Amino acid sequence: MPLRILLVEDEAELAGAIQAVLRAEQHIVDHLAEGLGAWSLIRGELATYNLAIVDWMLPGLSGPELCRRLRGAGLTLPVLMLTALADTSHRVQGLDAGADDYLIKPFAMEELLARIRALQRRQPNYRELLLRAGPYLLDPAESCLTVQEAVGSTRITLSAKELQLLAYFMEHPREIIPGARLRSQLWSLEDDPISNVVAAQVRLLRRKLASHGLPSPIETVASKGYRFEPEP
């Protein structure tokens, strides 16, 4: 399932490579080059991150320092630290600061991905597979949706964005969700803030459901947002 990841790395080239790889894995990535901004971004609650990848050496607020702050604020967000030094003394410092895992540069991208998966599995609230709301059953691993109907059920395979969107809706059933919230939670903060991606994607999702003969569970609440209504 796609994760929301904060990457804090000041070497532009490495950062770019990591972003590309993570995005290819369908993750939503925000990138910052310095620690103070990361700190404020996480505190701001603009987006809910599932993981932070933090370089050891950063201008301003260093990686371990950022980590310490996070822990100090009571946040359990998994942190994967990147360090250029195989130095064990640093390792201890980092663990003290509250990092969850280490990767020593240079590393293979495959290993980064593996570490991320491992870290996620270790999460206490690690959501094993399915998400259910009313007759809707979402399987992020297969990225497909199964809907119970009066007779039998329908199975629909979803694209990455459709999955993310529907997952967010299903995690907040019946709640009025402003378009702007979907925007900040499901799209990287870096891209153009004036665009109607959200409306467009909602439309695609609605249309896909409709094309399978299902009634749309997503209603629009005029100038307030969208609402996912599991029961008809």
Beta strands in 56-135 (DSSP E): 79-83, 101-104, 131-133
> How big is the site for its own copies, counted in residues (CB under 8 A)?
41
Residue 195 identity: S
Chosen residue from 13, 45, 110, 191 binding DNA by CB under 7 A: 191
Subset of 193-222 contacting DNA (CB under 7 A): 195-197, 199-204, 206, 220, 222
Residues 95-124 touching DNA, rule: CB under 7 A, are: none
The number of beta carbons lying within 10 Å of the beta carbon of residue 195 is 11
Segment contacting DNA (CB under 7 A): 10-18, 31-39, 57-65, 190-198? 190-198
Give the SS3 label for residue 187. Answer: coil
List the interface residues with its own copies, window 67-106 (CB under 8 A): 88, 102-104
Give CA–CA dist 154/140, Å, rounded. Answer: 16
Q: Tell me, residue by residue from 157 to 186, as one string, x for binding to DNA by CB under 7 A and - for no binding.
A: x-xxxx---------------xx-------
Residue 218 as a binder of its own copies (CB under 8 A): the answer is no
Q: Rule CB under 8 A: choose which of 10, 11, 142, 229 binds its own copies.
A: 142
CA distance linking residue 174 with residue 161, whole number of Å: 21
Residue 224, Cβ neighbours under 10 Å: how many? 11
For residue 3, the tally of other CB atoms under 10 A from its CB is: 18
For residue 59, which phi and psi values (nearest 5 degrees)?
-70, 145
Q: Which residues bind its own copies (CB under 8 A)?
A: 24-25, 36-37, 40-41, 43-47, 88, 102-104, 107-111, 113-115, 117-118, 141-143, 157, 159-160, 176, 180, 183-184, 189, 193, 221-224
